[in-house]
Amino acid sequence: MLLLAVLAVALVVPPLSSTAPPTDSTALRDAVTVEGIMEHQEAFQAIADANGDTRASGTPGYDASLAYVQEQLEATGYYDVTVQPFLYDAFRELATPVFQRISPDPRDYVANEDFITMDYSDTGDVTGTLVATNDIVIPPGATASSSSSGCEPGDYVPASTTEPQVALAQRGTCDFRVKAENAEAAGYDALIVFNEGQPGRQETLAGTLTADDTSTIPVIGTSFAIGEELYNLVNAGPVTVRVATTTEIRRDVPTANLLATTKTGRVDRQVVVGAHLDSVQEGPGINDNGSGSSAILEVALQMAELDAQPENQVRFAWWGAEESGLIGSQFYVDSLTKREVKNTAVNLNFDMVGSPNYVRFVYDGDASDTASLASAGSGVVEDVFVDYFDSQDLASEPTAFDGRSDYDAFISVGIPAGGLFTGAEGIKTPEEAAIYGGTAGIAYDPCYHQACDTIDNLSLQALDEMSDATAHATLVFAMTQSAIEGTDKGKGKAKGHADFLGSKLRK
Ligand SMILES: [Zn+2]
């Protein structure tokens, strides 16, 4: 099936390089410098400093970031610059959550290590008997989603109507939102979801119920080990736990995307080059994603400076509310007419290109190396990046389209996509350290989603190499006369949705 998909693309589309005259990106790459990018990074840091150390959507730090980018682009006169406003539901935690085993054998679990409040969880403070759903699978089944714990209303033993009770469910099969809504419908006052237990599904769950969630109970995620222990205790006798969360969900908060579109070039082969502009609330977000935002801004400014005449229209996009679940880019794609979807030749995505302990990751467009949810045609995009790095004698690695960034909405409607990533909370392997340098055994970005994601949390070498690759790929797709639409666009949509919705798991 995978092989067939790859063959189909190969038959329809000869490699880009063999049909199009080679694009010489030297002038643009020379013009895009680390100094230029760091000017924008300094601006984002100053904006965060002046606005409570964050540039999260819905905050003044985001609005100032957007105004900065807008002003830079408008000054060129080269682009049509538009603000695309939208509303989203903002979630945050107002206090450190609590999870305790009261009896037997009392234990305080550590917030954000042993357990994590799910995004869009409601507020509550519940001390009650722990009740396991009927269909927990321990030891875990051989494959992911062997458990469908909590996915059907009948999975939950009807809760006591007089005493507070906490439900225990296992990850698998359906969205956490469904498990939460079923738990509440069965009468539970709080829900604990533990990871399923297979390799790669054991750590503490960082989940989201998504903004669509209608449940009103506290919901936390925990590790397989803690879930398994609690499950065994429940089978041995009564277990009492406490779950307390303090959260805020603000509905219909205004924020915006920023779009800058070249005035020339074929509109029926539009190239959308995107990066999310928002940070998390916890920090200034200079690597995530000041780096991608600054890199594409500098490419856009230098294209204007060189007065590039693109064959195909180029639209640079800075997305809002990515950190709340890819909301700005989803809003953009949802706003496109059928014709506009067809006219979008490709989406290039840059979400973290300056990680201090970096690897040169390229999205795995042909799904040859990873369980990637690629749309048809994305292999062509991957090749452009990989061939470029090869030409520079730089190694690169495939990384899955797994739903963690803004390409998601594009591939789900069949638009080819690709892009770069230098790594987040993942741990660098000794093999990677041998190839890319840096330190094995620590994260690619040790300050990922933290207050320390500042101007000091960058590899300038990563920024240099990745921004050149960004400039190159942007120009290749801007100038190509070969039909990227020959990639069966519209028929090869990514199947289903990914486990991730942005940085959080949704199932
Ligand atoms: Zn990001």
User: Which of 191, 214, 245 is where one domain is finished?
Assistant: 245
User: Which of 189, 212, 245 is where one domain is finished?
Assistant: 245
Q: Provide the residue range defining the domain that includes 112.
A: 95-245
Residues 442 and 469 in one domain: yes
| CATH number of the domain enclosing 156 | 3.50.30.30
| CATH number of the domain enclosing 59 | 3.40.630.10
Q: Which pLDDT does position 69 carry in this prediction? A: 98
pLDDT tens digits for 303-351? Answer: 999 999 999 999 999 999 999 999 999 999 999 999 999 999 999 999 9
Q: Which pLDDT does position 207 carry in this prediction? A: 97
pLDDT of 13 higher than 80: no
Calculate how far, in angstroms, residue 420's C-alpha sits from the geometric centre of ligand 1: 12
Q: Which pLDDT does position 353 carry in this prediction? A: 98
Calculate how far, in angstroms, residue 288's C-alpha sits from the geometric centre of ligand 1: 5
pLDDT of 20 higher than 60: no
Calculate how far, in angstroms, residue 54's C-alpha sits from the geometric centre of ligand 1: 14
Calculate how far, in angstroms, residue 127's C-alpha sits from the geometric centre of ligand 1: 36
Cα-Cα-Cα-Cα torsion 334, 337, 343, 348, nearest 10 degrees, comes to -10
Q: How far apart are CA 299 and CA 301, in angstroms?
A: 6
Q: 124 CB contacts (<8 Å, ≥6 apart)?
A: 189, 190, 217, 218, 243, 244, 245
**Residue 373 banded pLDDT, cuts 50, 70, 90:** confident
Strands (E) across 188-297 are located at 190-194, 219-222, 240-245, 247-262, 266-276
Residues 470 and 344 in one domain: yes
Instruction: Reply yes or no on whether 322 is catalytic.
Output: yes
Q: Which pLDDT does position 14 carry in this prediction? A: 40
Work out the number of other CB atoms within 10 angstroms of the CB of residue 137.
Answer: 15
Residues 155 and 196 in one domain: yes
pLDDT tens digits for 118-133? Answer: 999 999 999 999 999 9
**Residue 483 banded pLDDT, cuts 50, 70, 90:** low
CA max distance for the chain: 75
Residues 80 and 224 in one domain: no
Residues 126 and 262 in one domain: no
Residues 114 and 17 in one domain: no
User: What domain count does the chain have?
Assistant: 2
Work out the number of other CB atoms within 10 angstroms of the CB of residue 42.
Answer: 14
Calculate how far, in angstroms, residue 341's C-alpha sits from the geometric centre of ligand 1: 24
Calculate how far, in angstroms, residue 115's C-alpha sits from the geometric centre of ligand 1: 22
Residues 10 and 158 in one domain: no
Structure tokens at 126: 């519940």
Residues 387 and 299 in one domain: yes
pLDDT tens digits for 230-261? Answer: 999 999 999 999 999 999 999 999 999 999 99
Q: How far apart are CA 132 and CA 387, in angstroms?
A: 52
Calculate how far, in angstroms, residue 502's C-alpha sits from the geometric centre of ligand 1: 8
**Residue 370 banded pLDDT, cuts 50, 70, 90:** confident
User: Which of 245, 267, 284 is where one domain is finished?
Assistant: 245
Calculate how far, in angstroms, residue 353's C-alpha sits from the geometric centre of ligand 1: 10
Structure tokens at 113: 């290590």
Residues 378 and 478 in one domain: yes
Q: Which pLDDT does position 92 carry in this prediction? A: 94
Residues 145 and 229 in one domain: yes
Residues 100 and 237 in one domain: yes
Q: With contact defined as beta carbons under 8 Å apart, do 365 and 5 qualify?
A: no
pLDDT of 169 higher than 60: yes
**Residue 18 banded pLDDT, cuts 50, 70, 90:** very low
pLDDT of 19 higher than 80: no
Calculate how far, in angstroms, residue 405's C-alpha sits from the geometric centre of ligand 1: 7
Q: Which pLDDT does position 460 carry in this prediction? A: 98
pLDDT of 55 higher than 80: yes
Calculate how far, in angstroms, residue 423's C-alpha sits from the geometric centre of ligand 1: 10
pLDDT of 366 higher than 50: yes
Phi-psi region of 4 (alpha: psi -120 to 50; beta: other; left: phi over 0): alpha
Catalytic member of 93, 184, 228, 322: 322
pLDDT tens digits for 351-362? Answer: 999 999 999 999
Residues 350 and 476 in one domain: yes
